[in-house]
Amino acid sequence: MKKILMLSIIAISMMACKDTKKPAKVSPAKTAIPQQEIHKELYGFWVGNFGTTEELEYQDDMSDAIKKLNINIKKITRDTVIAQSVVSGNSRPLLGKISEDGGTITFILQEPGTDKYDGKFEITLVGDTLIGKWNAYKTALEWPEKKFKLLKRAFVYNANLMLPSEIVYIDWSEHKMVKTLDTLEDGTIDSLDANTFYRSASENIFKVNASNTLLKEDDLKNLKKLDLQIIKNTIFARHGYAFKKQVFRNFFDPVEWYVPVKNNVDNDLTTIENKNVKLLDRFTKYAEDNYDTFGR
């Protein structure tokens, strides 16, 4: 009887051991289903003028006031829009939403607020144009609201792009005052009022291409400092560099083919361009500028 009892205990123990080795049933993990992307036809660069109402409506030369804005739409779902704004050399991430009402598409896109010039974009798609306004979070800024009209633009690097000759390339940000001397009939010299003189580029900036031609010293030795600076920065403009300096934004923002894309293009330069940049820098260091007088 004792033997039978012992065998029973052993059998029960073995069955219990088998039960403990059975893997516990695990409920299948619930994975979030990614939202379907919509309106992919709107992905890409949207580029246009960015300024106050007065600046955009002013008919005279406002090249130093009007800025070029690029909004890069990267992803759209029902709940989220991911984009990026580039203006005045400042690249900012955008996050927001899309809404559709009666066939009208609108966006609310917000910059993160960590920069003093951050704000909110309110945009409506009208035909093939994004029209809207930007309001700064800091309302005490000199220009807390700006408007824009953006058209979709493809960005493609092209080494043959040149600056348009119909634009006058004058550095309005830098000048010097020169007094004019006048010799009177009695032989005395009279000092007239001082005139304002500005740096201006020559026609060489329309002839020298530092992206498709390996330059020689003879190509540069007679050029003015501003010529050398523009020729060099045209290399960067072809690659979509977003200029921070006002003087270069004044030169390139009005150019139709120029699309500001990113803050660093060093790794995008070709072998020819890298060699030319070094040569241009060497000549720029010792070059001088001619100052001309212009009415404004």
**Residue-wise pLDDT tens digits, 82-94:** 999 999 999 999 9
Name all domains of the chain by residue range, CATH numbers in brackets.
Answer: 40-153 (2.40.128.120), 170-293 (no CATH)
Report pLDDT for 144.
92
Q: In DSSP terms, which residues pair with 86 in a beta bridge?
A: 70, 91
Report pLDDT for 132.
98
**191 has pLDDT over 90:** no
Q: Is the dihedral of CA 92, 249, 265, 131 positive or negative?
A: positive
Going by pLDDT thresholds of 50, 70 and 90, the confidence category of residue 175 is confident
Report pLDDT for 168.
85
Report pLDDT for 53.
86
- H or E, element range at 250: helix 246-252
**253 has pLDDT over 90:** yes
Q: Which residues neighbour 72 within 8 Å (Cβ) at sequence distance 6 or greater?
A: 44, 45, 46, 83, 84, 85, 86, 261
Distance separating the N- and C-terminal Cα atoms of the chain: 120
Phi, psi of 46 (to 5 degrees): -120, 120
Task: Compare 99 and 176 and report the one with higher pLDDT.
Answer: 99
**7 has pLDDT over 50:** no
Report pLDDT for 189.
63
CA–CA gap between residue 73 and residue 83 (Å, rounded): 4
**19 has pLDDT over 60:** no
Going by pLDDT thresholds of 50, 70 and 90, the confidence category of residue 259 is very high
Report pLDDT for 292.
72
Report pLDDT for 174.
79
Going by pLDDT thresholds of 50, 70 and 90, the confidence category of residue 267 is very high
Q: Quick one: angle between helices 225-238 and 271-286, nearest 10?
A: 160
**Residue-wise pLDDT tens digits, 94-146:** 999 999 999 999 999 999 999 999 999 999 999 999 999 999 999 898 889 99
Q: What is the pTM of this model?
A: 0.81
Going by pLDDT thresholds of 50, 70 and 90, the confidence category of residue 243 is very high
Q: In DSSP terms, which residues pair with 67 in a beta bridge?
A: 50
Mean pLDDT of the chain: 86
Proportion of the chain above pLDDT 70, given as a percent: 79
Helices (H) and strands (E) in the chain, counts: 6, 11
Report pLDDT for 26.
56
Using an 8 Å Cβ cutoff, are 56 and 139 in contact?
no
CA–CA gap between residue 258 and residue 260 (Å, rounded): 7
**Residue-wise pLDDT tens digits, 49-58:** 999 988 887 6
**Residue-wise pLDDT tens digits, 24-50:** 565 565 666 788 999 999 999 999 999
